[in-house]
Amino acid sequence: MRDPEQRTVLITGATSGLGRALAHRVASSGSRVLVHGRDAERAELVRAELAAGPEHAAVVADFAELRQVGQLADAVRRCTDRLDVLVNNAGIGSGPPGAGRELSADGVELRFAVNYLAGYHLTRLLRPLLVASAPARVINVASAGQHPIDFDDPMLSHDYLGSRAYAQSKLAQIMFTFDLAALLRDSGVTVNAVHPATYMNTAMVREAGVSPVSTVAEGVEAVLHLVADPGLDEITGSYFHGTRACRALEQAYDEQARARLRELSDKLVEQAPS
């Protein structure tokens, strides 16, 4: 990896919680940070808070709409000619207890859309920039809460549970991590996933009615490990629990299941209004 002062790092979901704290840590090392949020005012506020140094930037998109994800990729390419690290952190939790099923603007189950599909689409759009910037890294902020995808009902039209929707979207992130790592293995771009910490003290956890057991600072350390540790220069296609390499749910290692997820994801992206 380049020295921190030479890095440009895009952090999605950087206006609150883990993303916001991570943006501050990355900026304090001297890196340029591209702060993503769905609200322009909040994104600009975080950008203005960051440590002085390189010219940080705020970029805006609602991940519940793939058209806006495409616009975000365009905005990133306009504001930088190099992307050293992409942190796919934006996401939503399982929702309050008893909450019902929701759909994105594109008609996709909302947690699948925001937590997984938006990052899938954004990373593919930015892949040429990442490769051109190599050595580069992609970090997918996933979770130890994982559930197998039922490809007969991937949008959970029946027997919906918010916790299952969340856990399914997080496993999809890890499956994508393994696929993309294999695709980019000789490109100089590494791709890894991480469960940063269990039930961090964030609005997402509190909304679910869960008592926090970890701090946001613990989560930041785990993600920063993947962003900046020089010992991980050659590590790709791995899932980390905190800072320790770990094994994900078995479906993540099923090549046929990953192929079905790719096919589904590409179909959903192609069907979305441009």
pLDDT, tens digit, for every residue of 8-49?
Answer: 999 999 999 999 999 999 999 999 999 999 999 999 999 999
Return mean pLDDT, the chain. Answer: 95
**Whose CA is closest to 88, among 17, 12, 24?**
12
The pLDDT, as a whole number, for residue 244 is 97
* CA of residue 79 relative to chain centroid, distance: 20
Res. 204 pLDDT band, cuts 50 70 90? confident
User: Is pTM beyond 0.85 here?
Assistant: yes
* Dihedral angle sign, alpha carbons of residues 210, 215, 221, 227: positive
**What separation in angstroms does the CA of 215 have from each of 75, 79, 88?**
32, 33, 20
Question: Taking residues 185-208, what's their average pLDDT?
Answer: 89
Q: What percent of the chain stands above pLDDT 90? A: 88
pLDDT at 239 over 90: yes
Coil, helix or strand at residue 258: helix
The pLDDT, as a whole number, for residue 205 is 80
Choice among 116, 166, 239, 253 that is catalytic: 166
Catalytic site includes residue 166: yes
pLDDT at 1 over 80: no
* CA of residue 240 relative to chain centroid, distance: 14
pLDDT at 191 over 80: yes
The pLDDT, as a whole number, for residue 200 is 85
Total length of the chain = 274
Task: Show the 3-state SS of 30-99.
Answer: CCEEEEEECCHHHHHHHHHHCCCCCCCEEEECCCCCHHHHHHHHHHHHHHCCCCCEEEECCCCCCCCCCC
Q: Determine the Cα–Cα distance for residues 85 and 133; give it in Å rounded to an integer.
A: 9
The pLDDT, as a whole number, for residue 143 is 97
Q: What tokens were used for 267?
A: 């179909």
Res. 211 pLDDT band, cuts 50 70 90? confident
pLDDT at 203 over 80: no
The pLDDT, as a whole number, for residue 212 is 77
